Amino acid sequence: MLCTECRFNAATTPDGLCNICSTAAAQVLPTPRPGYMSDGRPAYLRSPVGLARAAIALLGVVIAADLYSLWAGTVVQGVMEDLLSAPYMTGYGPDLVREAERADKLYAVSGWLQTAALVATCVVFLCWFHRVRVNAEVFEPHIHSKTRGWTVGGWFVPVVNLWFPRRIALDIWDASGDRSAALDRTMTLGDPTTRATHPLINGWWTLWLASLVVGRWASTAYWGAEEADEIDAAVSRLMLSDVLDIAAAVMAILFVRRLTRMQDAKAKAGLLTSGHASA
């Protein structure tokens, strides 16, 4: 007979529970009110599909803006090479000056496009991230190591924004996964070495941090560059940052798609620990 709680493992107790669910029931403190966290805020189940689609679409816009920036960077580098190869005594001709002005405008436009795409994507992504976090409380209210407020605030507080969002994402992922596996991780929450690995989240977060670090390094070099060779080198660094940002955006799309599907499947299967479902 299957466990009456997880419907996955074989029942081993007189109450019809498996070993995992029986141990979890003995160790996990009950919520004060069904469907509510200890601070009294409701945790209603809501579909993340619409927000996920919007976030994925905007991540695609981020990728397109980065590709445009890469093209604009090649134009700038081409002009810089022409400037470096121009005869020193004769100076720069009017055609070369016009090309330099055009390249500078193209690169400025690419920067504005990247900023606009990033801001729009951040707003929608954080709305989606908050929704899946609340859903995760309905699935597994005891597995989360950070409070709900950090779901958004953790991205903006210096220093802690280097790892808090990833930690929250790991908890959401675990709560949205298989019922028995989530309970097993709940029991070993205090020991990170016993928790499952998360290659998709780790890959996305590593690329995201790398793009931020390289981008800051490249931007500082670019705004401080004056000579053609310095500008050419700085643009190469910015292009590396764009490549890393594209890779991070691709991983983010995979993360959003996978987690949304997990939550949608779990909600449709009715695998809820407690709480209320809301359309």
- Contacts within 8 Å (CB) and 24+ apart, 196-202: 198/170, 198/173, 200/251, 200/254, 200/255, 200/258, 201/166, 201/169, 201/170, 201/173, 201/255, 202/166
Residue 234 lies in a domain: yes
* Structure token pair of residue 57: 């679409």
Residue 37 lies in a domain: no
Residue 243 lies in a domain: yes
Residue 18 lies in a domain: no
The structural domain count of the chain equals 1
Q: Rounded distance, CA 52 to CA 126, Å?
A: 10
Residue 121 lies in a domain: yes
- Dihedral of alpha carbons 163, 167, 170, 176, sign: negative
Residue 24 lies in a domain: no
Residue pLDDT, tens place only, 82-131: 888 876 545 566 788 888 899 999 999 999 999 999 999 999 999 999 99
C-alpha atoms less than 13 angstroms from C-alpha of 12 in its C-beta half-sphere: 9
Residue 34 lies in a domain: no
According to DSSP, residue 43 is labeled -
pLDDT at position 15 is 73
Q: Rounded distance, CA 277 to CA 279, Å?
A: 7
Burial label, 241 (beta-carbon count in 10 A; 0-12, 13-18, 19+): buried
Q: Rounded distance, CA 123 to CA 27, Å?
A: 38
pTM over 0.95: no
Domain of residue 249 covers 48-273
In sequence order, what are the beta bridge partners of 2? 10
Burial label, 144 (beta-carbon count in 10 A; 0-12, 13-18, 19+): buried
Residue pLDDT, tens place only, 214-269: 999 999 999 998 888 899 999 999 999 999 999 999 999 999 999 999 999 988 88
Cα separations (Å) of 131 from 46, 134, 161, 255?
A: 7, 5, 19, 15
Residue 278 lies in a domain: no
